[in-house]
Structure 1
């Protein structure tokens, strides 16, 4: 089985490789291909991965030799390894050629960052300079990121469709919801967006109740939203909703990072637990003031921190150790502007997006069902190929939602959820309408649609601010200026 990672020079790629190599779910992957347009970053990460592989072999967690090919198209199909002795270290290939990377892939994991951390700093600073929220995926910065990324993501999807039409694409490229929606226009249901924040929230609640929400058939999960805008509204056990008892208990809420972020009284008033990114919508002024008061934005912090790491190059001694220390600092300072305390170790620890990706791959490759929260179409194709019933009847069939799904060998099957409240429907509709205007601008080069997207975002809502944002991003991003130059 071949897994291709797009954005293979990305800082968190070793996490994906380790999860795949150790086979936490039992799935065997024979080859991992790292693709990136930045050859220096690619070689640095490849050196980290090489050293990580040597450590895994030395610790006895995997074998030292690569195994034979399995997966779709091979005799016998995908196999589950029985243990470390039976699991071989995946063969590692690095390349800057997209077609070479994707050809023959069974799974493609897309985690590209168009413009790098430097591009993110422009996204953040333009918004902050206008008194607006500057954040990577939330607010106008997220729209600018999408405008830069969608043309690249669409070209990637077209290449996959041409040279690996049977591959499944797992998208983690941010902003994940609208980028997945763009890629679905080419790849249909064979592209799925992932994020680790929703399932992390569900698992925190499950631990308090002494159960595994994803592996217990007695448990029902009512989570609904868009990527980085969602709510856990019920967690039932044998039909009884156990979430109210959690909301009523201060000690329980203190163990849930999302509740600490937005306040115990507020989650009780909502009757639901929010995705952590809702902080930016509920406490917009506070978040903006904290970011503005900081010496650096998150993008500037990452550009400096990871720039220092990559400057060491592939020949640096002990790159794995330095990568790990850099990673811990990165995770500990994640969304620092949302907290009045240092991040707790239990909030940092967890499976992360690499586990979500591996579980998704395993369920599709082996047919062993998994329950997950994924970014999928509101009305994915049914067994006959015709669109199925919409998960949310009020929203367009092709709109990408973040909902509980069952994944198996036949694909991804969204589960039914309860009706949306008016405020939930309003927030989701307003945000996705803005993002869809940006999507149209990215695909057509329409400056007017870009203006509409920026002006109507729920954290902007100003025609003049939308115009100023558009002009600021055109000045700060030559690729945006070139994209919109013809309209």
Structure 2
């Protein structure tokens, strides 16, 4: 890794989240000597890339740091010789996401872009692209670290670790959002909160919560009646039943609402779709407003409106992880990493989301052992769904795809699974070369 100055490649550089990343690198400039950031996107994303890239250049200039922002449509140019490659791609754009949300709703099934049928469709479009990107990394930057933020993050990271030789770690802003949520609830600095995380991406439980090293899990559960706001910007803030939380005895992530409050969430989603539109339709409007803001030649900081997009703390997660690898910090991060016996109830070669010590050799998960039967069954079935989803995405295996959707807890039957699958394949033909 270059001590003179690091090269960072951002694949999907035209994303509305990019200013988050740039802010993260500026903030850490003294400990992370980033010299060149290559923002790369595809032809369709050229206009957004230029808008975001110009804002990034203004941010860097204002901060007075010696970082050069390069904009390119050439993936090889971006990746060649990179120390770190960050992936934040959305294959098919927001319109594909909107389709992903409308298909399940047609059959009275929860719509969500990273889990259930929506997450499945996104994974099928993304897997061929991520494997193609990895071929370039293997060829042009074999020593680079891949930091994956592309959703569904656990599924995509597992695909990379199973089918390539790349050093990859998956990241997500849900765990850090949970830390901030609890800190807010307790009225304390987030640095004083430590959560022991167990589970999968977007299906992670805080089994223990600590304040200054003292276990406050029980106290926190007692406060849950008022803890309505512990959610994400993209998930309705339905309140948890205090008795349910008491019986669970741990802190669920916002995405657990889809599994534990399915009927209420579905009702809410159908009402939303009929009035304001699906979340994807809302995001499309938000993105337009954001890019209009980004165009302002006087804007030279990350605008606060970006938080509405749902990507809060993203830069803290990605940039602090990169800094820990580069500086061999041996500190603790919550990451998506190969299980390797960490959770005794799951296969070794699957990816889990948990606390890990991060040093120059990567992320080393902290052993968990067996988990409570309260969460074991749901975790195992969702992981089996993810394994089949990857198999389907890599091989274009229709039967693996059908089984994946059938066993997902949010899909009520094999009949509906088949209808949804056929719609997904039909509506995503141009993005699913593996099914031809």
Normalising by structure 2, we get a TM-score of 0.88
1:228 aligns with 2:202: yes
Q: Which has the higher contact order (CA 8 A, sep 6+)?
A: 2
- 1:39 corresponds in structure 2 to 46
Per-residue deviation, 1:201 = 1.6
- 2:68 corresponds in structure 1 to 91
- 1:327 corresponds in structure 2 to 306
1:193 aligns with 2:174: no
- SS at 2:208's partner residue? strand
Distance in 2 of aligned mates of 1:149 and 1:6: 13
Per-residue deviation, 1:235 = 3.0
CA, structure 1 residues 244+303, in 2 after alignment: closer, same or farther (shift >3 Å)?
A: same
- SS at 2:364's partner residue? strand
Distance in 2 of aligned mates of 1:420 and 1:162: 40
Per-residue deviation, 1:12 = 0.8
CA, structure 1 residues 252+439, in 2 after alignment: closer, same or farther (shift >3 Å)?
A: same
Distance in 1 of aligned mates of 2:151 and 2:198: 19
CA, structure 1 residues 403+328, in 2 after alignment: closer, same or farther (shift >3 Å)?
A: closer
Extract unaligned runs of 5+ from structure 2: 1-5
Per-residue deviation, 1:319 = 7.2
Per-residue deviation, 1:457 = 1.1
1:471 aligns with 2:432: no
Per-residue deviation, 1:392 = 1.3
Map residues 172-187 of structure 1 onto 2, 5 A cutoff.
172-187=149-164
Does the CA contact (< 8 Å) of 1:192 and 1:374 recur in 2?
yes
- 1:8 corresponds in structure 2 to 13
Extract unaligned runs of 5+ from structure 1: 57-62, 64-87, 335-349, 380-389
Does the CA contact (< 8 Å) of 2:19 and 2:302 recur in 1?
no
- 2:268 corresponds in structure 1 to 290
Does the CA contact (< 8 Å) of 1:214 and 1:372 recur in 2?
no
Per-residue deviation, 1:251 = 8.1
- 1:434 corresponds in structure 2 to 385
- SS at 2:316's partner residue? helix
- SS at 1:406's partner residue? strand
Does the CA contact (< 8 Å) of 1:475 and 1:481 recur in 2?
no
Stretch moving more, 34-43 or 112-121: 34-43
Does the CA contact (< 8 Å) of 2:12 and 2:87 recur in 1?
yes
1:300 aligns with 2:281: yes
Alignment deviations for residues 367-403 of structure 1 (CA, whole Å, 9 cap, x no partner): 1222111100001xxxxxxxxxx10122111110001
Does the CA contact (< 8 Å) of 2:76 and 2:140 recur in 1?
yes
CA, structure 1 residues 89+125, in 2 after alignment: closer, same or farther (shift >3 Å)?
A: same
Does the CA contact (< 8 Å) of 1:25 and 1:358 recur in 2?
no
Distance in 2 of aligned mates of 1:250 and 1:429: 27
Residue correspondences, number: 422
Alignment deviations for residues 193-240 of structure 1 (CA, whole Å, 9 cap, x no partner): 011211332354457678778689xx6x43101000011111357986
- 1:132 corresponds in structure 2 to 109
Distance in 2 of aligned mates of 1:139 and 1:446: 18
Alignment deviations for residues 92-139 of structure 1 (CA, whole Å, 9 cap, x no partner): 111111111111111111111111100000100011111111111121
Does the CA contact (< 8 Å) of 1:215 and 1:371 recur in 2?
no
Does the CA contact (< 8 Å) of 1:178 and 1:435 recur in 2?
yes
Normalising by structure 1, we get a TM-score of 0.80
Whose radius of gyration is greater, 1 or 2? 1
Distance in 2 of aligned mates of 1:323 and 1:208: 26
- 1:79 corresponds in structure 2 to none
Does the CA contact (< 8 Å) of 1:132 and 1:460 recur in 2?
yes
Map residues 55-70 of structure 1 onto 2, 5 A cutoff.
55-56=62-63, 63=64
- 1:359 corresponds in structure 2 to 320
- 1:105 corresponds in structure 2 to 82
1:262 aligns with 2:228: no
